[in-house]
Amino acid sequence: MATLLKIIVKNGQDNPNSFFFFQQPAVYIGGPKVYSNSIYARSLPPSNQGSTITMAANLQFYAGVQEANTSTPPVGEVSGFESAVQAIDLAAKGNKPQHLDCATMTWDQDTKSLGLQQPVNAEGVQEGAFRIITATYKPNLSPFNAGSAIMVNNNIVLSNFVVASPQTNVDAQPILKYYVQTGTYQAGTVMNFSVSSVKAALCDFTGGYAQAVVTYKDDGGWDVNMS
């Protein structure tokens, strides 16, 4: 069973608040424009009611492709529609063959059928990254997003992505840093990472932590305790 990373959020204010969660974007090889989605969102009543939110993220990496809403995803709108995901490994030093780090996208324009084949080991994938090989398609008719997906509370959502080009390699190196911010961006909705991450609560799991307890304080700041 895959490890779960948990973020437990408490509202320390006397009024109700809404919170959304998002992940630091993966590093995408080649420098394309990277977009971020909210991965979870819930509201909490005032502090005297003692309620909490728990976001549980499966520590399993997923490659994801998605039929895009548009070739220039706008903030505040869902990033796309039909999606396909595959659990995938990250490439290891020395290109160990047991690491299945490359998945190939399939697309049938006639049936509108989107898929990702079972991952295989591939040459040239950077250590700590995975690769998506995109299909042949006409981007002016059907643009696609490709990137890093995540399972949150048993639902898989595209966490961050690039607008892909046909027949190219999309190499992504995921980062285990998550943020909590006040707001109402529902899962799968494009948000501005640079803006939203300012004064957000950072939960950094890269050091091997498994849980973060986050309190939204009455002065608008955050307490974050990792364990």
Q: What is the dihedral of CA 117, 120, 124, 130, to 10 degrees?
A: 60
Q: What pLDDT does residue 82 have? A: 92
Name the one residue in this structure whose structure tokens are 């903030």: 75
Task: Assess whether pLDDT exceeds 70 at residue 43.
Answer: yes
User: 186 burial class (0-12, 13-18, 19+ CB within 10 angstroms)?
Assistant: middle
| pLDDT tens for each residue of 124-165 | 999 999 999 999 999 999 999 999 999 999 999 999 999 999
Query: Is residue 49 classed as helix, strand or coil in its secondary structure?
Result: helix
DSSP 24: P
Cβ neighbours of 136 (radius 10 Å): 10
Q: What pLDDT does residue 1 have? A: 46
Mean pLDDT confidence for 199-205: 98
Q: What pLDDT does residue 62 have? A: 98
Q: Give percent above pLDDT 70 in the chain.
A: 99
Confidence of residue 174 (pLDDT cuts 50, 70, 90): very high
pTM of the model: 0.96
Query: Two tokens at 201?
Result: 């609560």
